[in-house]
């Protein structure tokens, strides 16, 4: 069984304009043939579709939304499965969240990770091909999108509950794939907690674990013969002011599942939404540079001490961004001056330490 997993897809900015004109080929022409070689092609659908009004939830950060034709766009590219457990799927309220799931399924694509309540959101997706079955478990870290017993939303990351789901899936499927939406934005290293959790999923019976969310790619490791990918990066996510940087680089991963054999995998790095919107596979020098960077990240991930040091260094370097909401600065100008050290912090050193470990 051959599967391709990709990262975050969002109907935003220039991508939104091309989709509205049905110019899908411009966005996906460089990856369509590659995608169609797989039995299942999975993408993270990172936004709710708004048809006739919405009820935006109260949250921090951007509130995303998109158009119905965004489904036609990814279908034209070749995707046939959408993960929906992410931190934006509930941005426009429960109605839009569930309508998004329904619209994707009405187009003939499978979904996983969202439901009208937490029981439905936690359902495992079973995919069958050539007499074999793979179970896909999809969850996300807690931000603003989580389903409850009485409200719609995404399946939350809960290692205890995922343990039971993995155990159940082992009796119903030949293979188990866990896809998580988590991590820290623009950090190329998994936290020690992420590494511990994803390894636990393998110990629980998962055959592979894939993560996205950080808006930049991370590395991977093979643990007890099972691959764990700590961050795929954005797949197609245009954002004004984000060009030719980490935001615009990522990789798709292909996984070959064969009974009784080690899982073969391959990375397909690409750039997306630089000077022009769309996804383009890396070639030549860019491909070589990516390979070297991935190897450097992998070496750090493999060493617990180095990973801890790299993670703590990232936290220290980004502490001003992390504690920004607790400062009195509200304009972009004053926030920029604060980050550059030109305005003082109003948080004591002791309180700052507490905030950074919460």
Over residues 73-108, the pLDDT tens digits come to: 999 999 999 999 999 999 999 999 999 999 999 999
Residue 350 is part of which domain span? 318-357
Residue 158 falls within a domain, yes or no? yes
User: Is residue 132, in this structure, part of any structural domain at all?
Assistant: yes
Q: What is the DSSP letter of 141?
A: -
Q: Do residues 73 and 27 make contact, with C-beta atoms less than 8 angstroms apart?
A: yes
Q: Where are the beta strands (DSSP E) in 46-122?
A: 81-83, 110-112, 114-115
Asked if residue 256 is part of any domain, the answer here is: yes
Same domain, 128 and 179: yes
My answer on whether 42 and 131 are in the same domain is: yes
**Alpha-carbon distances of 148 from 83, 114, 121, 136, rounded to whole Å:** 18, 11, 9, 21
Comparing 349 with 64, the larger pLDDT belongs to 64
Tell whether 193 is covered by a domain: yes
Query: Within this chain, do residues 282 and 350 fall inside the same structural domain, yes or no?
Result: no
- 129 and 197 inside one domain: yes
Predicted pLDDT at 263: 96
C-alpha neighbours within 13 Å on the C-beta side of residue 83: 32
Confidence of residue 355 (pLDDT cuts 50, 70, 90): low
pLDDT of residue 160: 98
Per the CB < 8 A criterion, the answer to whether 263 and 207 are in contact is: yes
State how beta strands 2-10 and 40-45 pair. parallel
Q: Is residue 249 part of a domain?
A: yes
Q: How confident is the model at residue 162 (pLDDT cuts 50, 70, 90)?
A: very high
Whether 280 and 344 map to the same domain: the answer is: no
Number of structural domains, the chain? Answer: 2
Pick the most confident of 175-179, 259-263, 342-346: 175-179
Q: For the whole prediction, is pTM greater than 0.75?
A: yes
110 domain residue, yes or no? yes
């Amino acid at each position: 069984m051959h599967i391709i997993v990709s990262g975050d897809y969002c109907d935003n900015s220039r991508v939104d304009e091309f989709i509205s004109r049905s110019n899908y080929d411009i966005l996906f022409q460089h990856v369509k043939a590659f995608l169609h070689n797989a039995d299942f092609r999975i993408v993270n659908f990172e936004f709710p579709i708004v048809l006739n009004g919405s009820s935006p939830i109260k949250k921090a950060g951007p509130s995303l939304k998109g158009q119905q034709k965004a489904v036609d766009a990814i279908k034209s590219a070749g995707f046939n499965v959408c993960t929906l457990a992410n931190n934006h799927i509930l941005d426009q309220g429960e109605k839009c969240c569930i309508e998004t799931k329904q619209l994707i399924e009405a187009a003939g694509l499978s979904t996983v990770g969202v439901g009208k309540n937490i029981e439905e959101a936690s359902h495992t997706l079973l995919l069958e091909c050539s007499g074999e079955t793979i179970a896909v478990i999809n969850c996300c870290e807690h931000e603003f999108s989580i389903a409850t017993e009485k409200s719609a939303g995404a399946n939350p990351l809960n290692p205890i509950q995922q343990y039971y789901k993995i155990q159940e899936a082992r009796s119903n499927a030949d293979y188990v794939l866990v896809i998580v939406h988590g991590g820290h934005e623009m950090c190329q290293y998994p936290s020690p907690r992420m590494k511990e959790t994803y390894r636990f999923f393998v110990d629980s019976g998962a055959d592979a674990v894939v993560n996205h969310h950080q808006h930049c790619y991370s590395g991977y490791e093979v643990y007890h013969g099972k691959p764990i990918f700590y961050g795929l990066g954005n797949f197609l996510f245009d954002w004004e002011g984000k060009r030719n940087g980490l935001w615009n680089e990522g990789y798709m991963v292909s996984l070959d599942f064969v009974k009784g054999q080690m899982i073969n995998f391959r990375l397909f790095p690409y750039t997306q939404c630089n000077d022009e919107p769309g996804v383009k596979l890396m070639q030549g020098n860019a491909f070589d540079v990516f390979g070297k960077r991935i190897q450097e990240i992998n070496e750090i991930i493999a060493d617990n001490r180095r990973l801890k040091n790299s993670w703590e260094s990232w936290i220290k370097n980004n502490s001003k961004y992390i504690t920004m909401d607790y400062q009195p600065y509200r304009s972009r100008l004053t926030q920029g001056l604060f980050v550059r050290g030109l305005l003082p912090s109003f948080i004591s050193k002791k309180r700052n330490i507490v905030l950074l470990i919460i």
